[in-house]
Amino acid sequence: MSLTRTRLTFLMVFGVLSLVLLTACTTDASRIREANKAFRGITIPVISTPSIPTPFIVPSTGSSYVEAYPVFDNPQFPTIAPSTSIPIPTSSPTSIPTSSPTSIPTPFPTSTSVPTLTPPTATSVPSTPTPPPIEADISATSLEDGDCARSNFTDDEILSGNTVKFYDFVLLPCDGPWQFRVVSSFLVELDAGYIGYPSDEKFMSLAQDNCKRTYTLPFFPLFESWRLGDRTVHCIQMDMGIAHSDFARLDNIIDPYLVKVEECFNELDEGLAYEILSCAGEWQYRIVEIISLALLEEFPGDEYIWTRTLQDCDRRSSMYFLPTHETWIDEGARLIYCAQGGQGLSGYSLERIDRIVGEYKLNAGECYNEDTSYASPLVEIVACDGPWEYKILDRLILDRDGLYPEDLYFDTEVFNRCNRFYDYSLSPTQERWEAGIKYILCIQER
């Protein structure tokens, strides 16, 4: 009986102390969040984590935690609409009492023979609001949209590709240094076709479908907090080494697999994120086409993917982002991104950029100029009724299968079939031959 009373007393005292600490942390967190909203000048909608019943209050390093998993692909899964559950109201910031100005006594009345003294006017001394705390400890399950925070892990550890478990975070003001921010959140619906706890791949797919495209990676609940009712996935953006208060730039940094056709961008952190830029300025890449391989269940092989790329990519493309066997199996990669390289093209008008194509994809009757300002074999298509340097007279389709032929075969085809006004020819390389590109261009030089 004595031992039981001792344990109960310990639990009661521990619960009271935890409640005091939790209340203080909640107050600090509320003040930081109000300051962050004021800093950005916006009202941020909040999707709160459902209440999780516990036997008694525990510190923020309790059993509820979330998992970070890096984004490296765009699996093709049906879109799951965010839950329409009513968010749990957040606590209000602590009110700050306004101090009253010190009263100044009025002088005694004076006689008519003595000049009247004008009493000084009492001046209101405005109260100085208590500045928001520099930081506040919060549990991993209490993150909200718009929060800026840091963890006990380095950026390299979070982005390493390995599973990272978080128990708590330090909430920070957004106008100072921070490690990540919450750009959006969503609730996993229980009736979305899942039996039990979803896999990492399913969480990743849901993040691709529901997160804002400015996110870097999702924080999602692990099994221990899932079984207690936690269904919130937080969409996180890392700071990417950019000035923390430069939200205009941060809002243009997106997940690589959410880039769209005709968008221009630079790579950040070795391709972990893209920064969307104006195509009228300087840029590294511009997406001109996206090819889906979603109908293929098994990895078709590098040769097949490269053949599809050379055959089907828009002729303006000169660089490609392809799925590999590893990303196909582990991450569900099914997209081919056909891009223009920005070297020598940045600053051109889009109308001119769209005339820059691969020389081997020219058609009979087209005129073009070579330009050393951009990488060969890219050329610029121009009107044939104006100045031009070269013109495609013929495009000879080669009806031959098998291994790549010797030069004599191509020379014979050119001699027998090219227009007599041609000056030189362009035959397929072995790489293009093996990709199914089997034709010769007969070219006239002006």
Question: What is the residue-wise DSSP string for 33-57?
Answer: HHHHHHHHTSPPP--PPPP---SS-
- In terms of DSSP bridges, do strands 232-238 and 253-254 run parallel, antiparallel, or are they unpaired? unpaired
230 and 371 both lie in a single domain: no
- Is residue 99 in a domain? no
Q: How far apart are alpha carbons 36 and 30 in whole angstroms? A: 10
342 sits in which H/E element:
none
Answer whether 0.85 is exceeded by the pTM.
no
- Judgement on whether residues 171 and 283 belong to the same structural domain of the protein: no
Each residue of 336-386: pLDDT tens digit? 999 988 766 767 788 888 898 988 889 999 999 986 555 557 899 999 999
Total structural domains in the chain?
Answer: 3
Residue 256: its pLDDT value, please?
Answer: 85
> What angle is formed at CA 118 by the lines to CA 117 and CA 121, rounded to 5 degrees?
145
Tell me which residue has tokens 């362009």: 426
Confirm whether 140 is domain-assigned. yes
Q: Within this chain, do residues 252 and 265 fall inside the same structural domain, yes or no?
A: no
Residues whose CB is less than 8 angstroms from the CB of residue 89 and which lie 6 or more positions away in sequence, other chains included: 48
For the chain, the 3-state helix, strand and coil shares in percent, each to the nearest 5, are 25, 20, 55
39 part of a folded domain: yes
176 and 212 share one domain: yes
d(CA 192, CA 210): 13
Q: Which residue has the tokens 């008519």?
A: 112
Q: Tokens at residue 191, please?
A: 């009736």
Q: Which of 296, 319, 354 is the last residue of a domain?
A: 354
Is 25 inside a domain boundary?
yes
**Residue 320 sits in the same domain as residue 335:** yes
Residues 247 and 275 both lie in one domain: no
> For residue 242, is pLDDT > 60?
yes
Please give the pLDDT value at position 350. Answer: 80
Residue 374 within any structural domain of the chain: yes
Of 235, 257, 279, the domain-final residue:
257
Residues 140 and 56 in one domain: yes
Residue 435: what pLDDT? Answer: 86
Looking at mean pLDDT, say which of 180-184, 189-193, 252-256 comes out highest.
180-184
Domain extent at residue 309: 259-354
What is the Cα Rg of the chain in Å? Answer: 33
**pLDDT tens digits, 312-321:** 999 999 889 9
Query: By the 8 A CB rule, do 177 and 246 touch?
Result: no
List, for residues 283-336, the tens digit of each pLDDT value.
Answer: 989 999 999 999 998 999 998 999 999 989 999 998 899 999 988 887 778 999
What angle is formed at CA 160 by the lines to CA 194 and CA 145, rounded to 5 degrees?
55
Shared-domain flag, residues 147 and 16? yes
**Structural domain contains residue 90:** no
**pLDDT (mean) for 169-179:** 88
Do 156 and 195 lie in one domain? The reply is yes
Residue 110, in any domain of the structure: no
- The answer to whether 193 touches 205, Cβ cutoff 8 Å, is no
> Is residue 235 domain-shared with residue 270, that is, in the same domain?
no
Specify if 230 maps to a domain: yes
Query: Which of 335, 354, 373 is at the close of a domain?
Result: 354
Which contacts of 270-273 are long-range, i.e. CB under 8 A and separated by 24 or more positions?
Answer: 272/70, 272/159, 272/216, 273/216, 273/238, 273/240
Q: Same structural domain for residues 253 and 279?
A: no
pLDDT digits (tens, 9 = 90+) for 64-87: 334 443 433 333 333 333 333 333
- Each residue of 30-61: pLDDT tens digit? 877 777 776 665 544 444 434 333 232 223 33
How far apart, in whole angstroms, are the C-alpha atoms of residue 401 and residue 396? 15
Same domain for 160 and 41: yes
